[in-house]
Chains A and B, each alone.
Chain A
Amino acid sequence: MFVIQYFIPHFPFNRMSHWFSDWFAIILACAIVLGALNLMKISIQKVIKKKPGWGYAVVIIVSFLLITVIGLSEGEGFREPGTWFDWLYVYVYTPCSSTMFAILGFFVASASYRAFRARNFEATLLLLAAFFVMIGRVPVGDIISGFMPEGARLSNLASWIMTFPQTAGQRAIMIGIALGIVSTSLRVILGIERAHLAGE
């Protein structure tokens, strides 16, 4: 049906994806209750059985209840600046998620140190491409290659890699992925692929 609606601008087909988006959002809202209950169940079990680290489980439960109660009681405008929910978001949630994200900077360095080795030709290519892009994209690259004429410096090389070989690879991957998705979708629609459903 969604295939059809792409081609037909007519009611009800032009409404179908709207419906789906709305319904999906509503289903999600109900499903998260299941998820949250599951998390609470596990944490409470941990506390009752006094498993190692149950103290942290208490922290999980308390912080979960805290933000949920505040958020639900503050009504529709819970997100506006000045509410307690906003305070928790800005001063607790944001530092945590930003730092978790930032910690990747360290991991990326140690992973490249440990895992990116010129094991064979393919791996070497990967390394070289990474090298040129990394160095060519920051001012330091042009300082190093400053002796070269304008247009043949590291920053130009980095741009060239990005625009040409990189695009080719991305394109092949993209076409492949799209065909894979088409075929998977067809299998699902035709009912050949039903591993995700326990019978009908």
Chain B
Amino acid sequence: MEHFALWLGGFLTLGIFSFLYKDNPWYKLTEAIYVGISAGYFVVVYFWDNFYSKFWIGVFPHKRLNEAGELIAGVEPDYWLIVGGVLGLLMLMRLLPKVGWISRWPLAFIVGATAGLWLINYFASFVMVQIQNTVTPLFGADYSASLFVIVGNIVVAVGTFTGLIYFFFSKEHRGAFGGAARVGIFFLMITFGASFGYTVMSRMSLLIGRIDFLFGDWLGMIK
């Protein structure tokens, strides 16, 4: 079984890599297996994790016994979950063409709740904290910073400031304002360059990991 499993892994891995050469039946077969398995995987996971563990166990909790066989208190059924169940049921109404429109309700609930929930979280940690932390003494406390850091601090201040100018919607990018916005773009570009560099790094690491599987785990050429 172990041999078969390793060969299956090798077969699927090479099947996907073969796409680099061109689209071919080997790849298509692998892709079909992949799509089917992954769709099914999520159905199963959602069923057990969300529906069963959350809803079913929440509303009808197991009777938990301790070692002496006595009932442990503290696992009360949570009837609020039924609201979720009803919303889910409304979602399934989609299947019946006549009452399909009712699925808008759970959707509206999700959209509204999402909007409300994120509003304040993003505001607090993305705006407030970031502003607070851009405010640092340029020369470090008591002139302790090195030249590297001083230049850096100035760069952070200027970069954040001009970057925000770029996102300003109320004013056309012209004249001095346009100039500042352009500096802002430069900073954005450096940011993108840096994250591009890191992305290359990341992808290569994953590729290395995969190649290691092929030559190491599968063929045993690397120990």
A residues with a Cβ closer than 8 A to B are 1-3, 6, 15, 17, 19-20, 22-37, 39, 53, 56-57, 59-68, 71-72, 76, 78, 85, 87-109, 112, 116, 121-123, 125-134, 137-138, 156, 160-179, 181-182, 184-186, 188-189, 196-198, 200
Given contacts A17-B117, A129-B191, 18 further A-B contacts (CB under 8 A): A22-B55, A26-B81, A29-B50, A60-B32, A95-B9, A101-B206, A102-B203, A126-B196, A131-B193, A163-B152, A164-B153, A166-B195, A168-B158, A172-B164, A176-B163, A178-B126, A182-B123, A197-B104
| Docked complex Cα distance between A186 and B106 (Å) | 19
CB–CB A26/B87 < 8 A: yes
- If A56-B32, A168-B159, A182-B123 touch, whether A96 touches B207 (CB-CB below 8 Å) is no
- If A36-B43, A103-B20 touch, whether A175 touches B164 (CB-CB below 8 Å) is yes
Give the residues in chain A near B52, CB-CB below 8 Å: 76
- If A34-B95, A178-B122 touch, whether A56 touches B190 (CB-CB below 8 Å) is no
In the assembled complex, the CB of B138 is this many whole angstroms from the nearest CB of chain A, namely: 12
Q: Which residue of A is nearest B218, CB measured?
A: A95
Give the residues in chain B near A109, CB-CB below 8 Å: 200
Give the residues in chain A near B99, CB-CB below 8 Å: none
CB–CB A23/B115 < 8 A: no
- If A129-B193, A166-B191, A172-B159 touch, whether A181 touches B88 (CB-CB below 8 Å) is no
- If A56-B28, A108-B200, A130-B194 touch, whether A2 touches B35 (CB-CB below 8 Å) is no
Give the residues in chain A near B75, CB-CB below 8 Å: none
B residues with a Cβ closer than 8 A to A are 5, 8-9, 12-13, 16-17, 19-20, 28-55, 58, 78, 80-81, 83-85, 87-89, 91-92, 94-95, 101, 104, 106-124, 126-127, 130-131, 134, 148, 151-153, 155-160, 162-164, 166-167, 184-201, 203-204, 206-207, 209-211, 213
CB–CB B83/A19 < 8 A: yes
Give the residues in chain A near B148, CB-CB below 8 Å: 156, 160
| Docked complex Cα distance between A53 and B32 (Å) | 10
18 example contacts (A-B, Cβ-Cβ < 8 A) are as follows A26-B54, A26-B88, A27-B110, A29-B55, A30-B51, A34-B94, A56-B28, A63-B35, A64-B39, A102-B206, A126-B189, A129-B196, A166-B191, A167-B156, A181-B118, A186-B119, A188-B115, A189-B115
- If A96-B33, A122-B186 touch, whether A179 touches B127 (CB-CB below 8 Å) is yes
CB–CB A68/B159 < 8 A: no
CB–CB B91/A31 < 8 A: yes
| Docked complex Cα distance between A48 and B34 (Å) | 22
CB–CB B30/A125 < 8 A: no
Q: Which residue of B is nearest A32, CB measured?
A: B46
Give the residues in chain A near B89, CB-CB below 8 Å: 30
CB–CB B83/A172 < 8 A: no
Give the residues in chain A near B211, CB-CB below 8 Å: 102
Interface SS, B side: helix
| Docked complex Cα distance between A15 and B80 (Å) | 10
- If A60-B36, A95-B12, A162-B194 touch, whether A168 touches B187 (CB-CB below 8 Å) is yes
Give the residues in chain B near A107, CB-CB below 8 Å: 203
| Docked complex Cα distance between A72 and B48 (Å) | 8
Quick one: which of B13, B53, B116, B187 contacts A1, CB cutoff 8 A? B116
Give the residues in chain B near A59, CB-CB below 8 Å: 29, 32-33, 36
Give the residues in chain B near A27, CB-CB below 8 Å: 84, 87-88, 91, 106, 110
CB–CB A168/B160 < 8 A: yes
| Docked complex Cα distance between A174 and B40 (Å) | 36
In the assembled complex, the CB of A16 is this many whole angstroms from the nearest CB of chain B, namely: 9
| Docked complex Cα distance between A24 and B123 (Å) | 23
CB–CB B197/A133 < 8 A: yes
Residue with the greatest number of chain A CB neighbours at <10 A, chosen from B9, B31, B37, B45:
B37
